[in-house]
């Protein structure tokens, strides 16, 4: 997992671009009450699935903490954006195949996370995509593997939307009602650091 995340992060986005995106996220948080803010975070969630690492979990938590009464709106928009981005990635993989991905990320298919995901996918199919969408794990390998088997994009969208909706509804609710419990969420500390949120 860590090796794969580093691969996506360092090769998918330059440090300069990473800093610009983090600055955009932090500066946009003061507009969380505006009507255009939920579509903005949906766009960022979509970009995350297109191999640009965006701290979606951190964005949702920060937004829900800033305006607790809108936690469900933020959760739904991030779910929609994440699903759209995943479907676009799936479409591109179906169109261009694994060599296209390997042009961007040489050796990706030899990482431990890829091999582990592939083994589980061969056994459990789309359930693995659902489980990864509902978890803190990167869902990119599962999306790519499902796309390589020519899973219909509508089915892929439904599975990802279901997993992401569960994840983000739970996360948005906890962030808006009991943010102190977020420290128990695996992998949350880095996400919160990326968006400048400190939880005591």
Tell me which residue of 44, 38, 47, 42 sits closest to 80, measured CA to CA: 42
Q: Is residue 199 part of a domain?
A: no
Per-residue pLDDT at 190: 61
For the residues of 31-71, what is the DSSP string, one character each?
GTTSTTHHHHHHHHHHHHHTT----HHHHHHHHHHHSGGGH
> Length of the chain, please?
200
Q: Is residue 99 part of a domain?
A: yes
Q: Residue 90 and residue 43: Cα distance in Å, rounded?
A: 17
Is-contact 19 55, C-beta < 8 A?
A: no
Q: Is residue 98 part of a domain?
A: yes
Per-residue pLDDT at 33: 87
Extract the residue ranges of the chain whose pLDDT is less than 70.
Answer: 1-15, 17-18, 51-52, 185-200
Q: Is residue 18 part of a domain?
A: no
Per-residue pLDDT at 80: 97
138-168: pLDDT as tens digits: 888 899 999 999 999 999 999 999 999 999 9
Per-residue pLDDT at 128: 92
Q: Is residue 33 part of a domain?
A: no
Q: Is residue 93 part of a domain?
A: yes
Placement of tokens 């939920």 in the chain: 38
3-state secondary structure (DSSP) of residue 12 = helix
Domain span holding position 141: 2-11+38-194
Q: Is residue 106 part of a domain?
A: yes
Handedness of CA 167, 25, 113, 83 (dihedral sign): positive
Is-contact 191 65, C-beta < 8 A?
A: no
Per-residue pLDDT at 198: 63
Tell me which residue of 166, 117, 119 sits closest to 143, measured CA to CA: 117
Number of independent structural domains in the chain: 1
Q: Is residue 182 part of a domain?
A: yes
- 61 vs 142, 149, 162, 193, 198, CA distance in Å? 25, 34, 19, 11, 11
């Amino acid at each position: 997992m860590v090796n794969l995340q580093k691969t996506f992060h360092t090769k998918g986005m330059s440090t300069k671009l990473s800093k610009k995106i983090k600055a955009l996220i932090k500066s946009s948080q003061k507009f969380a009450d505006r009507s255009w803010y939920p579509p903005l975070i949906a766009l960022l969630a979509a970009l995350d699935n297109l191999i640009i690492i965006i701290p979606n979990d951190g964005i949702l938590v920060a937004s829900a903490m800033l305006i607790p009464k809108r936690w469900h709106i933020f959760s739904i928009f991030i779910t929609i954006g994440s699903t759209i981005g995943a479907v676009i990635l799936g479409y591109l993989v179906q169109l261009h195949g694994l060599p296209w991905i390997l042009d961007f990320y040489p050796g990706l298919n030899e990482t431990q996370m890829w091999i582990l995901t592939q083994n589980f996918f061969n056994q459990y199919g789309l359930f693995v995509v659902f489980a990864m969408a509902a978890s803190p794990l990167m869902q990119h390998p599962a999306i790519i593997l499902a796309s390589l088997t020519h899973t219909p994009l509508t089915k892929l969208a439904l599975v990802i939307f279901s997993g992401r909706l569960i994840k983000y509804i739970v996360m948005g609710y906890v962030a808006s009602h009991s943010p102190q419990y977020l420290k128990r969420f695996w992998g949350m500390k880095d996400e919160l650091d990326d968006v400048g949120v400190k939880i005591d």
